[in-house]
């Protein structure tokens, strides 16, 4: 069934998500919910139809939702709240992305233009594999992970739920990253990183753990 798509969040990430959904060509209607409504009623070519507080009014068999919030923990909170009232989420994969038929991608995840997800990799729900990022074979990404543009994950890497891999980063094979951790932009990670850690540099060095 061709479905309607309702995107939560009309910022930059929302526009990227809508553009991806548009070129996929499988939605009969794309619209937004955003806190700027009713002062703002459109973003690019798409309408903003509500402020996001009344999601339950839009739940229907032919409607899929997508939470286009870049901040990991905020995206997680909103998706979990929506799931609890019966919302069903779309998975968006840009036509120029290469996703192995033997990889898995969770509901509510966005795989952006020119990204790669290789064989036997597992991508959790609510993740972002951003523009031009690559996730090589046998990687496991937990829920609500964000791999920023141009990042490179070699084979058999594990990234814990809620972690953020900064733009242009590189991670060598077999590294394990804990939950809710951050790898800074342009960093090269050569060893494991624990939960709630911050590492930056090339090679990356761990900073004070987050609270």
* Cα gap 125→182, rounded to integer Å: 19
- Scored b (16 or more CB within 10 A) or e, 174-199 reads ebebbbbbbbbebbbbeeebeebbbb
* Cα gap 143→124, rounded to integer Å: 4
For residue 188, give the H/E element and its range: strand 188-189
Spatial contact of 10 and 36, defined as CB atoms under 8 Å apart = yes
In sequence order, the 6+-apart residues with CB closer than 8 A to the CB of 175 are 157, 158, 189, 190, 191, 192, 193
SS3 content of the chain, % helix, strand, coil (to 5): 15, 30, 55
Spatial contact of 105 and 123, defined as CB atoms under 8 Å apart = yes
Catalytic annotation present for 137: yes
Q: How many CA atoms, within 13 angstroms, populate the side-chain half-sphere of residue 140? A: 9
Identified catalytic residue from 13, 71, 94, 137: 137
Q: CA–CA distance from 53 to each of 82, 113, 199 (Å)? A: 10, 30, 36
Active site members: 137
């Amino acid at each position: 069934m061709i479905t309607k798509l309702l995107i939560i969040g009309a910022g930059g990430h929302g526009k990227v998500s809508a553009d991806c959904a548009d070129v996929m060509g499988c939605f009969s209607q794309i619209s937004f919910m955003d806190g700027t409504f009713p002062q703002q009623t459109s973003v690019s070519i798409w309408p903003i139809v509500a402020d996001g507080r009344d999601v339950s009014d839009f739940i229907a068999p032919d409607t899929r939702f997508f939470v286009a919030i870049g901040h990991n923990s905020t995206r997680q909170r909103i998706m979990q709240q929506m799931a609890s009232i019966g919302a069903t989420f779309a998975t968006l994969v840009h036509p120029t992305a290469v996703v192995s038929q033997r990889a898995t991608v969770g509901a509510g995840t966005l795989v952006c233009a020119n990204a790669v997800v290789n064989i036997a990799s597992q991508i959790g729900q609510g993740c972002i594999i951003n523009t031009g990022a690559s996730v090589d074979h046998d990687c496991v990404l937990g829920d609500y992970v964000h791999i920023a543009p141009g990042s490179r994950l070699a084979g058999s890497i594990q990234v814990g739920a809620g972690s953020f891999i900064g733009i242009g980063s590189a991670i060598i094979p077999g590294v394990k990253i804990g939950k809710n951790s951050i790898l800074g932009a342009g960093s090269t990670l050569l060893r494991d990183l624990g939960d709630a850690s911050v590492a930056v540099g090339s090679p990356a060095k761990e900073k004070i753990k987050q609270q």
